[in-house]
Amino acid sequence: MQIREVEYFLAIADHGSVRHAAATLGLTQPSLSRGIVNLEREFGLQLFDRLGHGMVLTTAGKAFLGPARRLIRTARLDTDPGSISLDIATWGTLAVDPTAALIAELHTEHPALPIRVEKADDEESVCRLVRDGHCEIGTVFLPSIALEGLGVVAAGSFREWLILPPDTEVGPGPLPLSAVSDYQLVVPTGGSQVSFVGMALAAAGVQVRVGVLSAHREAQIALVLEGSGAALASEHYARVAQSRGAVIRELTPPIVRDYGFVHRVDVLSPAAARFIDLALAHTSN
């Protein structure tokens, strides 16, 4: 098996077609196709279904995707560690804060560094993507039930803020945690963060009244702005909502949730190590 053929495989998997992958790699389409055929012949398996609109991974192709990324990282660590792309798994609110800001900071330092961000549904999915080799690091809330076999770097914490519809009449300053029970909440589904907040409120004796249960996390602020209820979210999302007219308040005592990064116990690439260094520096500031 040739390393370049594995690179061809990953390029097609990421871009969805031979044409786009060939353009990215600076190769002709026939050369790329021959490389994939050689790889499939060596495995004795079909890695892609050839469809009219592009190339789709078969079951075997999906199974090879994680090991292929690990193989490329390992090969480049030995030969050209500065050329390794950074593959990050993230989910939910963590995709925006802190992941997006840290990616931007890393990109400013290394504008030529390829960065791939893979979406996950929850912490368990993030950990699985990292454990299987699809991604080198992932962002998760802590503690997480799926950390076995992974390295963990605690990086910071979030406080939940109360986001209220525009023109809500509420006194100045932080609100007591018990005030949450005065409002129907817009609650996203899934993820340990929802469970964590629910348990924290229950432990404080605060009754939760759910007004809207939404599978679309990105719609949470919009629903609050339209008057469908209040919401609990990190300060970043609260400030975004405030800029669009929402009323926001801190809570006392606060609901605090830690977050951090998971990684395989292999040697980290320079890009991944630098990403974590930036995260720790961001937290200390």
Render pLDDT for 190-216 as a digit per residue (tens, 0 to 9). Answer: 767 778 888 899 999 999 999 999 888
Q: Reduced to 3 states, what is the DSSP secondary structure of residue 50? A: strand
| Domain ranges (residues) in the chain | 1-79, 161-254
Residue 75 pLDDT greater than 80, yes or no: no
C-beta of residue 90 within 8 angstroms of C-beta of residue 217? no
Fold of 161-254: D-Maltodextrin-Binding Protein; domain 2 (3.40.190)
Q: What is the pLDDT of residues 138-148, one digit of tens each?
A: 999 887 767 78
Cα–Cα distance for residue pair 29/114, rounded to 1 Å: 22
Q: Dihedral angle at the C-alpha atoms of 159, 226, 95, 184, nearest 10 degrees?
A: 40
Order of strands across the sheet with 137-142? Answer: 115-119, 86-90, 137-142, 256-263, 151-159
H helix intervals, the chain = 3-15, 18-25, 29-43, 59-79, 101-109, 123-131, 192-203, 220-225, 235-243, 270-284
Q: What is the pLDDT of residues 76-128, one digit of tens each?
A: 776 666 667 899 999 888 888 889 989 999 999 889 888 989 998 888 889 99
Cα–Cα distance for residue pair 123/107, rounded to 1 Å: 25
Residue 48 pLDDT greater than 70, yes or no: yes
Fold of 1-79: Arc Repressor Mutant, subunit A (1.10.10)
